Copies of this chain bind each other. A is one copy, B any other.
């Protein structure tokens, strides 16, 4: 049974740093000041040992759980059934859920380069007074995570109980575990990889090419024009949506069923349900996402290869032996196939790491990490529960009243 109890109303928060000394990026470039938009759920306990950092995927935001005030006309019996959308991982974050906000202080921040409140290409460049556009420096997963360490410092947290996330969120989890092993007790990378494959790079690049091909993109300089490269971004998003599903989930969700038609129209109107789904999601995405952020974030993912700096994945995790890993892949995920996770398990085992690995039978493709709620709840919940008991993590004083 899915737990529908919501955490309720949450507010975005903002943390700005690198005001005086700019933030140094892996590329050698700098950027500053840097603002991270974040949300927190639950309360920090007395010794600050109950913090869990949630990392979002490509199109995600800091809004992982609960409802924003403007989306929530009534608090009474608030659920997702009313068409009001809660945070992107609401089913796993809340009282009694996998990330139990009665016990843990859960944090989620929008990545550097994003377009949901954190500094990114759509932000105003203080040196020009205009949006950065392509003047924004290319950032890496390493840069995103280093920015997060500043936020975690700001929140007064020495060591996170756990870092968790799927897809690009999982890459950030792995970056935390490899680069800041002393600052995380446990790491939960879901449906992810330690090394973006050529297939993943190819899919990213075609999405970017779709954006470049849109004349309204105008080399990233479109913020003042009042015209955005929506057509290109929609195509990029449609490609993404195909890769998030599996053959089987497509058969279940759509089959060859037609949309609002009894028979073939023999024209180029949208007629199969799967076409309608893609078009709807593609267009919808353009209302909530910045095309330049899409370029920057996919590029960061493409650069991600933890084995590169050290020559081997095992060496990359040599100092992470104290971190407890729960690694999860899904059998029908063809975007981040299980072999990525298995390579990671082998490397961690070779490095003497503490690894639990599950390849979960699911027909939902890459989306499974968000959709297999019962399995995730049981698995992540019991992993965290055991961890918290082993580490004698105290309850927060204010278990209620956010």
A residues near B (Cβ < 8 Å) are 26-29, 134, 137-138, 195-199, 201-203, 205-206, 208-210, 212-215, 231-232, 234-235, 238-239, 242, 245, 247, 250-251, 253-256, 264, 266-268, 272-275, 278-279, 282, 295, 299, 302-303, 305, 334, 337
Contact = CB atoms under 8 A, between A and B. Distances in A.
A163 to B, nearest CB: 25
Contacts of A266: 26-29, 137-138
B210 A242 contact: no
A205 B278 contact: yes
A177 B273 CA distance: 29
Q: How many copies does the complex hold?
A: 2
A208 B268 contact: yes
Contacts of A273: 198
B242 A202 contact: yes
A230 B282 CA distance: 21
B210 A210 contact: yes
A227 to B, nearest CB: 12
Contact of A334 (B195, B235, B303, B334): B334
A208 B234 CA distance: 12
A256 B251 CA distance: 33
A330 B296 CA distance: 36
* 10 cross-chain pairs, A with B, having the tightest CB-CB distances, nearest first: A27-B266, A213-B231, A198-B250, A138-B266, A198-B274, A198-B254, A205-B275, A206-B238, A202-B242, A202-B274
